[in-house]
Amino acid sequence: MRMYRTGAFLGALLVALLTVTACSPRAGSGGKAPDRPTPWTMPTGPGGYGGRLLGARWRVDWVTVDGRNIDAPPDAGAWVEFGYDNTAVGDYGCTPFKSSATVTATTLTVGTDTSGATPDDACPAKERAFEQRMRKIFTGGPLAVAERVDEFSMTLKNQRGDYVALQMLWPQGLFGAAWQIEYLDVADTPVDMTAGKEVYFVFHRDGTVTGKGGCNGFKGRAAFAGEHVTLYPLTRTTHRTCSRKIMSQEDGLLDQDPRTFSVVASRDITFVDRTPGLDGLAYNFIRVR
């Protein structure tokens, strides 16, 4: 039943989004329009490769010890996030951690874990072995920070040549910044947003999301978990009226069942619905600057 509803939704959404009308925008009396979001400004950091670590969340892909690669747990089970307040939080795969972290342009030094957390008793032996190696590299002294393939993949290497391979999971400024939907991919068809910069989402760390659908403000829930985000139905906070095309696109964004997307991060972010057997849907976001 869900597959039929979702497929029907995508077909209807594509028709609505591609329908061109000659109506001009007209504001109704349904409440004050949301204020324009303030462009996000990156906090001051040390620059260099080290500066790229700050404010983003990184997935651990593998560690290399004595020249041997050891894969990390699946589904972003091991991750780390470095704050501008000289802290690091993350998960070794079985055990969450929190510690101090000193970042320069070329080095990273992680302090002693202060979380007091203990390993999950149900954690498989293979993942326990991985986290022991990662912890040893991570907390064993200064690490050289270098680019692995591009600016979205980094290595943290100790003096013995052992290293942790990182891949960006969430970009800098994911929370609290305004993210404009530049375009949608619906069944492999790119669809521009008629309202342009008036279509944006602001994600918050508490799991809420606010923004504007083109004409009206909205609020709802957006639950990030590892490499995925689940968007729940969004509720209008104003009830203004714009052109039929803008309203159709807004309806398509707001009026749908919960959907879980894969998060693809670079300078911007893309939410991709990878539900097997269904036509694709992807939101392509750019940061409001």
CA nearest to 160, candidates 65, 91, 287: 65
Please list, in sequence order, all residues whose beta carbon lies within 8 angstroms of the beta carbon of residue 95, skipping any fewer than 6 positions away.
117, 118, 119, 120, 123, 131
The pLDDT tens digits along the chain (289 residues) read 333 344 444 554 555 555 443 333 444 446 666 667 777 788 888 999 999 999 999 999 999 999 999 999 888 789 999 999 999 999 999 999 999 999 999 999 999 999 999 888 888 888 999 999 999 999 999 999 999 999 999 999 999 999 999 999 999 989 999 999 999 998 889 999 999 999 999 999 999 999 999 999 999 999 999 899 999 999 999 999 999 999 999 999 998 889 999 999 988 999 999 777 666 789 999 998 7
3-state secondary structure 18-35: HCCCCCCCCCCCCCCCCC
CA nearest to 241, candidates 218, 211, 214, 220: 214
* DSSP character string of 88-99: EEEE-SSSEEEE
Predicted confidence at residue 33, as pLDDT, reads 62
Predicted confidence at residue 188, as pLDDT, reads 83
Please give the radius of gyration of the chain, using alpha carbons only, rounded to the nearest integer.
22
φ and ψ at 178, to 5 degrees? -90, 130
**Could you name the CATH architecture of 48-170?**
Beta Barrel (2.40)
- Label the pairing between strands 153-157 and 259-265: unpaired
Please list, in sequence order, all residues whose beta carbon lies within 8 angstroms of the beta carbon of residue 106, skipping any fewer than 6 positions away.
48, 49, 50, 144, 145
E-strand ranges in 115-198 read 143-147, 153-157, 163-170, 178-186, 189-192
Can you give the pTM of this predicted structure? 0.84
Structure tokens at 51: 């500066």
Predicted confidence at residue 282, as pLDDT, reads 94
Predicted confidence at residue 245, as pLDDT, reads 96
Cα dist from 52 to 63, 92, 139, 171, 196, whole Å? 20, 21, 20, 10, 29
Predicted confidence at residue 3, as pLDDT, reads 36
Map out the domains of the chain as residue ranges: 2-40+174-287, 48-170
The CATH fold of domain 2-40+174-287? Lipocalin (2.40.128)
CB 283 within 8 A of CB 271: yes
b or e along 177-209 (b: 16 or more beta carbons within 10 Å of the residue's beta carbon)?
bbbbbbbbbbeeeebebbbebbbbbbbeeeeeb
Instruction: Find the length of the chain.
Output: 289
Predicted confidence at residue 122, as pLDDT, reads 85
Predicted confidence at residue 211, as pLDDT, reads 96
User: Would you call 143 helix, strand, or coil by DSSP?
Assistant: strand
CB 99 within 8 A of CB 41: no
Do the domains 48-170 and 2-40+174-287 match in fold?
Answer: yes
CB 188 within 8 A of CB 280: yes
